[in-house]
Amino acid sequence: MPLTLRCLLALIFSVLLTGCSSTRYYSQLLTGQWQLLHAREPVAKVVADPQRDPALREHLAKSQAARTFASEQLKLPDNQSYRLYADLQRPYVVWNVFATPEFSLDPVTYCFPVAGCVAYRGYYSQGAARGDAALKRQQGMDVFVSGVEAYSTLGWFDDPILNGMLLWGDERLATVIFHELAHQRVYVKDDTEFNESFASFVEQEGTRQWRANQGLTPSSSGAAQQRDQFIALVLDTRQRLQQLYTQPLSASQMRQRKAAQFEDMRRKYRELRDQQWAGNNRYDAWINSPINNAKLLPFGLYDQWVPAFAALFKHTGGDWEGFYAEVEQLGKLPPLQRKTALRQWAGQ
């Protein structure tokens, strides 16, 4: 029996053991993953086919240099992941639905047999994601739907490069490969903040080393500084909201002060943009669209512990294998001890 089929059957069996009543939801997960697996083909085959789109072939050929770099230099898993390609005929592979209570930044979490508990629910159909979001809004929750260009099956399957990943350019594709392979290297069940912050650090440091390896100039310090300032602004707003939600206020008072915090964030953003960024409006679309608790969740999940992992990487002298060993030890700690250790590494 092919390995992928054995893995899929094992996954189906583990889902059935949960006794979950959400049969339709799990069914779309399994169907979507099966369709993705069925669409895969070797990158080398696409690159060698003169009948395929020349731009696609060139893009995929360049991706393989980054894929080799990931294993040889960043010490990420050396397998067939991202040496395959799949065209799903849509921009995103899944759409994630993030949700929180109206007056809380604690995410609604979902637990799965393989990945453990995560702070979002994924759908292979945008319509299905929007339907779930609508139901949650009716229940009074804050909701945010976000398209996802790639995800990791944590080594269960050989993950392919997806057509949606090719829309960002060669460097962005490399960063996504680094990020998703990092999940295969270290993954801690039931700790999304840890996993995503770790993968984000590997992505950022890996991209820096990749650019140096390719003889490219370092990424614009101005752009990186703007990104860091924007993330810091959002995280500061999260902290202020967390403090607000502990206060004994009526629902109407809480809503007013919550809205005021979002307006204050917009005001501070405009000051940064106009006074320090020379009018660069790269985050205007995000800041000017509706904002709620759920929209802030990805920032806390993907960025919160990046400084801690950066400090740990420096502590190991930039040795990737030593760094991963330290990260694995952190992952084995009980959750509260792990978070305390991360705070210490981050200097908080």
- Token pair in block for residue 82: 């991202």
pLDDT for position 348:
66
Q: What angle do CA 259, 261, 263 make, to 5 degrees?
A: 70
User: Same domain for 112 and 180?
Assistant: yes
pLDDT recorded at residue 220: 57
CB atoms within 10 A of CB 239: 12
Average pLDDT over residues 294-320: 92
Would the pLDDT of 19 be above 80? no
What's the rounded mean pLDDT across residues 96-114? 91
One domain for residues 40 and 117: yes
- Over residues 127-137, the mean pLDDT reads 96
Specify the pLDDT at position 299: 84
In tens, the pLDDT along 65-82 reads 999 999 999 999 999 999
- The domain boundary, picked from 213, 231, 248, lies at 213
- Residue 165 and residue 271 in one domain: no
Is residue 227 located within the same domain as residue 195? no
Q: What is the pLDDT of residue 339?
A: 96
Pair of tokens at residue 40:
């895969």
Does residue 114 register a pLDDT over 70? no
Domain count, the chain: 2
Q: Single out the residue in 195, 213, 231 at which a domain terminates.
A: 213
Model pLDDT for residues 241-270, shown as the tens digit of each residue: 999 999 999 999 999 999 999 999 999 999
Residues 81 and 111 in one domain: yes
Q: Which of 183, 213, 243 is the last residue of a domain?
A: 213
175 vs 118, higher pLDDT? 175
Shared domain check, 204 and 121: yes
**CB burial string 290-313: b at 16+ within 10 A, e below:** ebbbbbbbbbbbbbbbbbbbeebb
Q: Range of 206's domain?
A: 3-213
Same domain, 152 and 263: no
In 10 A of CB 145, how many CB atoms? Answer: 19
Q: For 290, phi and psi rounded to 5 degrees?
A: -55, 140
Beta bridge partners, 117, equal: 111
- DSSP SS3 for 9: helix
* Distance between CA atoms of residues 207 and 176, nearest Å: 10
Q: What is the pLDDT of residues 148-200, one digit of tens each?
A: 988 888 888 999 999 988 887 888 899 999 999 999 999 998 898 999 999 99
DSSP tag of 109: -
pLDDT digits (tens, 9 = 90+) for 22-31: 788 888 988 9
Same domain, 167 and 284: no
Rg (CA), the chain: 21
The mean per-residue pLDDT over the stretch 123-134 comes to 96
Strand partners, 118: 110
Whether 184 and 299 share a structural domain:
no
Model confidence band, residue 17 (pLDDT cutoffs 50, 70, 90):
very low
Q: Is the pLDDT of residue 213 over 60?
A: yes
Phi, psi of 92 (to 5 degrees): -125, 150
**What is the secondary structure of 188-210 as a DSSP string?**
-TT-HHHHHHHHHHHHHHHHHHH
Predicted pLDDT at 219: 62
pLDDT at 333 (0 to 100):
97
The reply to whether 38 and 160 lie within a common domain is: yes
Overall pTM surpassing 0.85 (yes/no):
no
In terms of domains, do 72 and 27 share one?
yes
Mean pLDDT for the chain overall: 90
Q: In this structure, are 150 and 248 located in the same domain?
A: no
